Each structure stands twice: as structure tokens, then as C-alpha cells.
Structure 1
Amino acid sequence: MADMLTIGTLATSTFKRALDVTSHNVANVTTEGYSRQRAEIVSNTPNVVGSAFLGGGSAVSTIERINADYIQRQLYGSSAMLERYDASYSLATQVEGIVAGNDDGVKDFMQRYFDSLQTLAANPTSSVSRQLLLDEAGNLQSHVSNLSSVLNDLEVQTNNQITDLGKEINSRLESIQEINNQVSRALAVGTQPPNDLLDQRDQAILELSQYIDIKTFPQDDGSIDVHAGGGKIPLITSNTLTKLEVAASPFQDEGRVEVYAFIGGDRRVVSDKITGGQLGGVLDFRTEMLDRAQNDLGLTLNGMVASMNWQHYQGYDINGEAGGDLFAPLSVDALNNRNNTGVEDGENFVISFNPNYDGVTAGTQPPYTGTLGVDVDGQPATYGDKKALLDNAITQIGNFASREYEIRFDGTDYQFYDHKSKELLTPLEQPAGSNRFQLDGLEFDLSASLGSDVGDVFLVKPHQAILDSFEVALRDPEKLATRGQSPVETGAFTGTSGAPLTDSSPPEAAAYGDNTNMANMASLQTKEILFSDDNGVASSTLLGGYSIMASNVGLYVRGNDIQLTAQENVYQQLVDRRDSLSGVSLDEEAANLLRFQQAYEASAQIISTSQSLFQTLLSVVRG
């Protein structure tokens, strides 16, 4: 039975514990991630005395941690999104300043080049105008080269950031794993929750969420499993740590790193699954901004190279020779996957721009000298053939798509996929069985790729490649094909295929001083040749193609800026909600200190009174 002395003793112990908890709260008022604690004081089981229940005093049943798990989980998600948009916005503004600037940008140099075409068209025999055209083409080449170098430097920067972030994430995971162990051990030997360890773990997970998006799953032993990538990437499972690995891309010579993880025992690329945190922001920037800007810009440059070259082939230079390449034509190899077991060198895959049309021998390539170097069903090509090739070239340019290609060998056929979306594409094999495919206006020549094994994979980046290979091929101003073709009598020649031909005679150069071909080249500035719809109707000029690229860059920057501001507000609201619930209020704690101090003193007075009564009783007995 609890007497007065026992009750007083228990009470002093209870309020001493309450004072300790309050003092601990005050001491941690500035500790990041600390959740205030509260001593839960309960009444002891009463004692039955006769027909009455006499109280047994009080005790601290537990030290409660004031925390809301649902707010904490929301904080993890908001933190991951905030850091994602902050990282991607910071990088994206660099590209915006480089690519989308109006002064001395690629578009400005393209305009200067077109102006020089107009100048030469107006003065086709002027040596000064001819040299001006080559100078402006060279200036454009230099600027594209500089821009490509800057974008490549950004690629290196993202590689370094991804590598550093991978190390930081693994370090944070090790800390969480260690705290998990401490929590499990504490719960195994005690009955009270290790509140400070739980705070430390929550804070460690919150800091981890700044680097990568995560989901947490509490376990029965008190530990927490941590997954990334929407729960698809296990990082800590049953307190077993699976580190992320940052290593070179599976495709040789791609020049970038990827994030790998072991899932189900297999080492897989998981870069595309990471959507939050600084790592998610850098990866999103690389895919949605850097790659897209390079592909969009490269598409425009490929359109310019192809259209200029094929129009240049139509004309004749000052000496009456057929026009050759003005710019170096596109020719890019495939990148080989490191895991390929058959073909281990993508150089046997050649991707180029090679238009053809019914009746013209497939696979023929300019430049053409003298008479056109293309046979039509074994007959010399004519004016009509040459014009048809140009028309088909313009059509093919309109089919260019701003994407990268993944080519897989299934043991029988090559399958083409959009590298980013993994959409299965349908190329045209021409002729059948040749392993030469037409897709999105490009020719994929796989005819030399004998020996591919099932599962061999190759990557092709035709529009990024042109940024590094964009070059003026013609150096002699006299070889600029300003002259058109002399009118020829239209005949009724028909080849063995039955295709009607416009003329059976080889074309000849127009008179000296003629500007027809140069005027046609200059007119390409205003001709819509890019981004054809399903009906083959193009919707953009070459300069318009650049503007679309710049617009996409601007939209990405603005979108990330808006999201960043929104996430800052959401995150701050969640922090305020957490602090209002879990944070330490010095005013409240000061009031608690006073209240518990008074209760402690009153409890001590109970003991003193009990002792005084006992002494009185002794005095009476000794009497």
C-alpha cells in the first residue's frame, strides 16, 4: 500500500523526470530535425483499503516523441522535388544563355550566311561575293563548333555532378543503415522508444531526399527500408544496403555516365527511374534539356546541310562543272553496347542522308561531275532525274525527327526503337533483304554488320553528331555552283521500269553569269522544309527550326522556374506544419519548467510533511 512518503517519493521522481525532458527540449531548440518530447505522467494503480480505493501516486509511463509520420513523408517528397527543380533550373539557365541568345548566336550567323547567298545571287560573277559566301559559311561553322564545345563541356559537368551525387547518396545511406542498427538494438533491449535516434534517422532520410527521390517502409524491428525511383530501386532492405553505382554508359564512346543499381540480382541502368532530388534534376536536365537542345539544333543543321548540298548539286560552277558538296554530308556510326557478343564495333553501321526515288538506283551518292553520276535503269540520268532527287531530298528532310535510335538484333531482324521512349519504329528496308533502311528521312546502312548475336544493341545519335562534324566542304570560291541548267527539250523516254522520265538528255550548264541555282539556294531561307505532318506538308523554315529549338529551351527554363517557386512554397508550408506540431516553443517549455518545478517542490513538501508526522509519532511513543 502506498503511503504518504512513498507517494511523495514517487512524485519527486516523476516531476524530476518531467523537468529532465523539458530541459532536454530547451537544449535542443536549435537542433535540426529535433522533435519535442513530452513526459506522459499517469496515475499509479490505486490500492484497495477496506471498501475504498486509495491512490498510489504517479509515474512517467513513457517519453512521447511529438511527431507526425505523414507530415514527415510529405517532407521527403517535397524536399526531393524542390531540389530537383533547383538543380535542373540552375543548369538549364546556362543552356538558355548559350543557345537561346539573340546576339551573335547560331541563328544570327545563319542569317548572315543567307544574306551572303542573296548577295552572290545578285552578283554571280563577283569574286568578292563568292568569297564572302565562303567566309560566312566558315563563320557559321566556327560558331557551331564553339557551341558544340560548350555543350560538350556541359555534358562533362553533368557527368561530374552525377558521380559526386552518387557518392553523397551512398554516404547518406550508410548513415541511415547505422542508425537503423542502433534503433533495432535499442528496441530489442528496452521498452522505451529511442526518440533521439528516431529524430536522427528522420533527419538523415530528409537529407537523403535532397539528393534522390525516396519512399520509406517501416519494419517490425524498428528499422526502415528505403527505396528510390518510385519504390523501384531498393537501397536499404531489411537493413541490407545496396549502393548506387555511377559508371560509364553501356554504349562505348557515348561520353556519359549512367546510374546503376542491382535489382533482383541484376545490374541495371536506373537513370531513367530517378525523378527527384538533385540527382533527378541533373538527369532530367540532361535528357529533357541538353539532349533535346542538341537534337533539335542538330536536326536544323542536318536540314541545312542536306538542303544546301542537294540544291548545290543542281547547279554548275563558273567553269561549267556540276556542283559538289558545299557542306560535309552527314555520316555517323552507331555506338556499340559493351555487352554485345556478336558485332562489337558500331562502325559497320553507317547512317547518312541518301534520298532516292523510284527509278533511280538506290544507294548512289553525289557529288556529280560532268554528266550526273546516277544511272536510271542503266541509262544516264537526266534533268528530270536530278530534279526528282532534289524533290525527294526536300521531302526526306521534312521527315527528320528529333530523336536518337536504338537498334536491336532479335536473331533474325533488326528492330528500331526510339531510344528515349522505347517506342518501336517501322523503317522501310529498300531493297528488301539488303539491311539498308530508310527511317525519318535517314538511311541506316547495316549491310556490313554481319555477325550480330541475339540481343546485340546499338545506339545512333545522328542529330547530335552533326554538331561535331558540321564543316564547310567547299574551299574554292570558283566551285560555287551559281549557274542553273540550260533548258532542254522534253522527251518521252521511259526506262525499263516503265517510269516516265522528264528528258532523255543529260543536263548542261546555263550561260556564264546565270544566277538561277544560287537564287534557288537563297530561297531556301524562306521555304518550309522541316517538320512535315502525316500528309507530307512541312511547317518550318531552317531559321524557324532554330527558333523552335530556342523556344523549347525557354519553355523548359520557365517551367522549371515556376515549379521551383511552387515547391519552395509547398516545402515551407510543410516545415511550418511540422514545426508547429513538433518544434520546441521556448515559451511553452518555460511555463512547463515553472509548473514542474512547483510540482517537484510540492512533492518534496509531501516527503517533509511525512517525515514530520513520523517524528511526531515517535515522540508520542517515546512519551
Structure 2
Amino acid sequence: MVDASRVAITGLQVFQRALATTSNNVANVGTEGYTRQRVDITTRPSQRFGDGFFGSGARVSSVQRIEDQFLNARVQSSSSDVARLDSYLSLVNRVENLVSGSQGGLDSALQNFFNSLQDLSNDPASIPARQVVLSNSDTLVARFKDLDASYNDINREINTRLRGDINDINSLTSGIADLNKAIVEAKATTSGQGVPNDLVDQRNVLVGRLSERLAVNTVELSDGSINVFVGGGESVVIGSLSRQLSAINDPANPGELRVGIEVGSSAFDITDKITGGSVSGLLDFRSEQLGEIRNQTGRLALVLANEFNAQHQAGLDVNGSLGAQFFASSTPQTLANQNNTGAATVTTGITDFNQLTTSDYELSYDGANYTLTRLSDGVSTSAVAGPFNIDGIQVDIAGAAAAGDSFLVQPTRNGASGIGVLLTNTSQIAAASPVRSLESTANLGSAVVTTPEVLDVNNADLFDTVEIRFNSPASTFDIVNVTDGATIAAGVAYTNNADIDFNGIRVQIQNQPEAGDVFTIERNTGGVGDNTNAVALLGLQTAQTVGGNATLQEGYGALVSKIGTVSRQTSISSQTQQALFDQAVQARDNVSGVNLDEEAVDLVRYQQAYQAAAQVISTSNILFDTFLAAVRR
């Protein structure tokens, strides 16, 4: 009977622990990261009595966390993907609102600017019309500058958020290392048999939060600790030790931060190895979108300034002077890598604005050859020395470079910030042509001369009076500089509507001239009402000046369309990934989460078992008392 009591007592102890574990599950139903626990009950070794073996009760062999490592890994991976897309999408939406908004975008400002040029061409002498042109040009320039300032703000925000995420990562890895130490120490007190489940749950919560910052891989060791790896194999936690990440300046582009990991007293750059998490979202947006968007906007500003200036300088202002530069413009930016050891200097100029791309370039030197690489697609050109001519730019090299030196070439990066309006007075707007063409009233033929086109405003003889005189027969003509009496060309064969070039000017004569007909090209004195150059300036609205295949407004429309497409695609990907994450969490919780209905069933089951064990003890006591009473008689 004594043996029966002992067996029942083991049952009481077992079911008491089972009830406690179930109660703990219920109490932690709302605790973040809590994993459902289960008591594993096994039989005690049986004992031999006489010719047989009798059971000696039950014992608790372990308290297990109910989990599926595969499902945990799915949740962790999906969490990284969701965080990356959320971070990426928030920045894409910011830029989309900037470029497509009526208040901050360029489209309406460009249209208003060209509308004012249309009004000026209709009434070139109108001071109010000229004032509107200046006002709208100021507005257009302000839009360019505001956009670039906003891009800079976003870049600074990315740097700030990177620092914040890196600080969080360091705090989390330090916490994981501390918990590793506590788990190993706790497990050692049970000779390696028991596991401090609550500490493991706390560590898993930190790993989950870490995976929201960047993708991680974990490896569990036999002592209960885990090693954590990021960036394709870089360890950030090894047992009870953690390695710190840091925000480091990009030596090639100091305005951008990169991610480094401590190696001794220095930091090793792992930026290009990072995947997943909010850090990856920030870095990917900056490299895939922000740089190109800034370059696209800058290219538009550069093309506008160059094309408009060239045409404006081919006109005549109210004061009778050749047009000045209308817009200020920036020059390409070239940055020497801060780790360079050589003495070379690199300068970049633009040779053809129509060929400009939206890419940056890297010039590197290996000790024998220079290589210029277009970073957008990796296409490269190598040579022993410069200059390099590619995509409308010329890269010149002076001085001696050292092996390993590199330079970042950004032809259009500062275009939007560098544009400005140089004119200060309406009289400076060159709406008229500097020269005009006249037909002699004595002409007998039906020929007419076109409005002169200025090819070279710097030609010293531009304003000289020139006559085109038809000989007899009228199949040839002479070109005579009336100002100095010199014959520019004699006996030129006449072809209807053919180009006739002289003194930086081009005209055409159309129809049939007669012998003695004279056509005069002279300075456009008093041509305030002439709209020739205003019409030419307005023509830039439809000229394919961007990349040789798009107008200014089409170029900007392509920018808006591209970022809109990226926004939609990223939004769809984000929604899809969120759904996958929710499914992964649900699958994990089905295994590891606390189900109150199941726990209620377990409570009843263990309670009944506990009561049964207690009844066994009570019965054993009654029988034992009966036995003692019988012996006393």
C-alpha cells in the first residue's frame, strides 16, 4: 500500500507541473513572441517484486517549446521582405508626389513658360508680355531648385534613417548576445538537459526585430546559443559576443552613407551584401531610383538652359544688342575618391547636350589603363590616357594617378540646382532677329528671300549689309558686302530654295529671279516689333532636345511615368508580400501559438488526473489504516 501512495504522489507532482505549464500558456496568450509549452511525461523505471515488475509512477522529462523551425524561418524571411518593400514604397511615394503634383512638379511650370513665349511672339513689343516671360522663367527655375532641394532632403533622410536602423541593429545584436550567455548559463545548471524557454522566446523576439532591419541567418549550437549572420555570411553575433555595425561615409560620394561592420579598429563595407529589411529598402531606393531621378531632372535643366541660351543669343534685344545668356547653368560634377593616393585631377565637360544620359560614370585606374564605366549598365571603355568622349561628355585627365584611384563623374547631377535666370530687365529679352532680309522694290522676278537664320552670332561681319545680286542671265548671282565693298562670292549658280551661307547667316531664295534683282540682308535696326527669335524660342517646346528623341515636356513626362510605374509595381509587391507574411504568421501560430480552447481541455484533463491521483492516496491511506487496526487486535 505504501508503494501505491508513492506512485500516486509522483502523479500529483507530474500533474501539478502540467497544470502549472498550462496555466502559464493561458497567462501568456497575449505575450509577444511567447511559444506554447508542453510538459513531456514519461514513466519512471519499474521495480521488481517477486517474479514481476511493477510501475513506480511518472515523471516530467522536459518542458518543450512547441515550434516548427521551418515556419519560424518563413516568418523571419517574410518579415524582412515586408520591411524592405515598406521602406522602399514610402520613399517612392514621396518622390511620386513631388514630381506629379501641380504645386511642385515641372509640367505646369514648363507649359506656362512656353505659353508666355507664345504671347510674346504675338506681341513682341509688349512690356507686360515680356514681364510674364521673366516671371514664368523665375517660377520654372524655382521649381527645378525646389525639386532638387527635396531630393537632397530625401537623401539626408535616408542617411538619418540608416543611422537609426544601425543603432537599433547594434542594440538588438547586443541583446541577443546577452541572452545567449544567459541561456548557456541556465542550461549548464541542469547539466545541459533543461532549456530556459522564456529566455529563448525573448531571444527569438529580438531576432525577429533584427530581421525587420535586414535579412539574417541563424545557426543554433549545442549549448543553446545561436550565431547570427548578415550580408552573405558576416557574423554579427557569435555566442555571447556581438559585432557592431556603423554608418560610414562613401569615399566615392561623401554625401551618401554606407554600412560597415567592425573589423578590429576599422570598418569593413558590407553595403553591397545587405539584403532584406528596412536597411535594404533604403539602400536599394537610393541606388535604383533617387540617383537616376535627380539626374533626369538635372538633364532637363541642362538641356533647357543650353538650347534656350543658344537660341536667345541668336536674337536681338530691345536695345539693339545681341541676346545674352538667358539661363545660368551648372557644370558636370567630378568627385575624387577619398582613398586616392595619386595626384591626378579629372575634369568633365559637355560636348553634346542631346546625347546626355541619366547615368553616372566611374573612372578608374589600374596602374596601366584608365577605364570609364557607365554605371547604369556597366558598359566600359578603356584607354592608356584620356580624354574619353562618350554620351555627349568629355572626360579629361591631368597629372599622374596611382593604381586603384577612381573618380565619380556625374554629368547631370547638379543641373537642377545650378539653373538660374540671368536677365534682370524685360528689355534684355531678345525676341527679334539681329538681321533682316529685304527685297528691292525694283525687282522684276517672282523670287522672294526667307528670314535670315543666324548660324554664328560671333561672326565679326554679322551686322554688315550684304546684297545678293542676280547676274544676266539670272542663273548666277554675286554676294557683295556693301559695308566694305568686298565681294564675298561671285558667279554662284542659283538653285531654288538652296541654302546661301555667309557672315554667320543663312538664307534661301525661292521662285524665279530676273537679271538685276537684288536682295539685301542688314542689321535689324528698330526691330522692336519683330518676333522672329521669339518664334524660334517657342519652337523649342516641340524640338526633340532630350536624348535626341523627346521634347522637354516629354522628357519630364517619362520621368513621372517611370516613377508612377515603380510605385504601382512596388505597391502590388508589398501587398503580395504582406499576404504571404500573414499566411506564414498564421501557419506558425497554428503550431506555436496558444489556443485557449485547447488549453481549457488540457486543464480539465490534468485536473481530473490530479484528482484521481489524490483519490489513490486517500484510498491507500484508508487501506493502510485498516491494516494497522487489524494488526493491533
Q: Which amino acid aligns with 2:346?
A: F
Corresponding residue for residue 370 of structure 2: 414
Q: Match of 2:404, SS?
A: coil
Query: Is 1:152 aligned to 2:152, yes or no?
Result: yes
Task: State how far apart, in whole Å, the 1-side matches of 2:405 and 2:317 are.
Answer: 47
Say if 2:362 and 2:406, in contact at 8 Å, map to a contact too.
yes
Corresponding residue for residue 224 of structure 1: 226
Residues 376-409 of structure 1 show CA distances to partners (whole Å, capped at 9, x for unaligned) of: xxxxxxxxxxxxxxxxxxxx33422112222222
Residues 307-328 of structure 1 show CA distances to partners (whole Å, capped at 9, x for unaligned) of: 2233345445556655443322
Task: State how far apart, in whole Å, the 2-side matches of 1:443 and 1:509 are.
Answer: 38
Task: State how far apart, in whole Å, the 2-side matches of 1:205 and 1:567 are.
Answer: 20
Query: Is 1:196 aligned to 2:198, yes or no?
Result: yes
Query: Is 1:547 aligned to 2:557, yes or no?
Result: yes
More strand by share: 2
What is the TM-score of this pair, normalised by structure 2?
0.80
How many residues are paired up? 556
Corresponding residue for residue 27 of structure 2: 27
Say if 1:315 and 1:509, in contact at 8 Å, map to a contact too.
no
Say if 1:320 and 1:509, in contact at 8 Å, map to a contact too.
no
Q: Give identity over the alignment, percent.
A: 33
Query: Is 1:437 aligned to 2:388, yes or no?
Result: yes
Query: Is 1:425 aligned to 2:380, yes or no?
Result: yes
Structure with higher Rg: it is 2
Corresponding residue for residue 577 of structure 1: 587
Q: 1:353 aligns with which of 350, 353, 363?
A: 350
Map 1:8-407 onto structure 2 (within 5 A).
Answer: 8-103=8-103, 105-190=105-190, 191-229=193-231, 231-251=232-252, 254-262=254-262, 267-317=267-317, 322-343=322-343, 348-354=345-351, 396-407=352-363
**CA RMSD, 1 decimal:** 3.0
Q: Could you tell me how far 1:549 is from its partner in structure 2?
A: 0.8
Task: State how far apart, in whole Å, the 1-side matches of 2:59 and 2:41 are.
Answer: 6
Change (3 A) 1:616 1:491: farther
Task: State how far apart, in whole Å, the 2-side matches of 1:576 and 1:258 are.
Answer: 36
Task: State how far apart, in whole Å, the 1-side matches of 2:596 and 2:161 are.
Answer: 41
Task: State how far apart, in whole Å, the 1-side matches of 2:43 and 2:314 are.
Answer: 101
Runs of at least 5 residues in structure 1 that lack an aligned partner in the other structure:
355-395, 493-500, 532-537
Task: State how far apart, in whole Å, the 2-side matches of 1:149 and 1:234 are.
Answer: 38
Change (3 A) 1:232 1:460: farther
Corresponding residue for residue 497 of structure 1: none
Residues 317-364 of structure 1 show CA distances to partners (whole Å, capped at 9, x for unaligned) of: 5566554433224313312322222249xxx4332323xxxxxxxxxx
Say if 1:405 and 1:461, in contact at 8 Å, map to a contact too.
yes
Q: Could you tell me how far 1:125 is from its partner in structure 2?
A: 4.8
Say if 1:329 and 1:353, in contact at 8 Å, map to a contact too.
no
Q: Match of 1:460, SS?
A: strand
Q: Could you tell me how far 1:32 is from its partner in structure 2?
A: 0.7
Say if 1:404 and 1:460, in contact at 8 Å, map to a contact too.
yes
Say if 1:8 and 1:606, in contact at 8 Å, map to a contact too.
yes
Task: State how far apart, in whole Å, the 1-side matches of 2:619 and 2:267 are.
Answer: 74
Residues 501-523 of structure 1 show CA distances to partners (whole Å, capped at 9, x for unaligned) of: 99575448764545444433322
Residues 285-307 of structure 1 show CA distances to partners (whole Å, capped at 9, x for unaligned) of: 33333323212211222222222
Q: Which amino acid aligns with 1:597?
A: Q
Deviates more, 1:294-303 or 1:27-36: 294-303
Q: Which amino acid aligns with 2:243?
A: T
Say if 2:327 and 2:419, in contact at 8 Å, map to a contact too.
yes
Say if 2:120 and 2:126, in contact at 8 Å, map to a contact too.
yes
Task: State how far apart, in whole Å, the 1-side matches of 2:291 and 2:205 are.
Answer: 35
Residues 384-442 of structure 1 show CA distances to partners (whole Å, capped at 9, x for unaligned) of: xxxxxxxxxxxx33422112222222223332224466x24238x8xx95x33222212
What is the TM-score of this pair, normalised by structure 1?
0.81
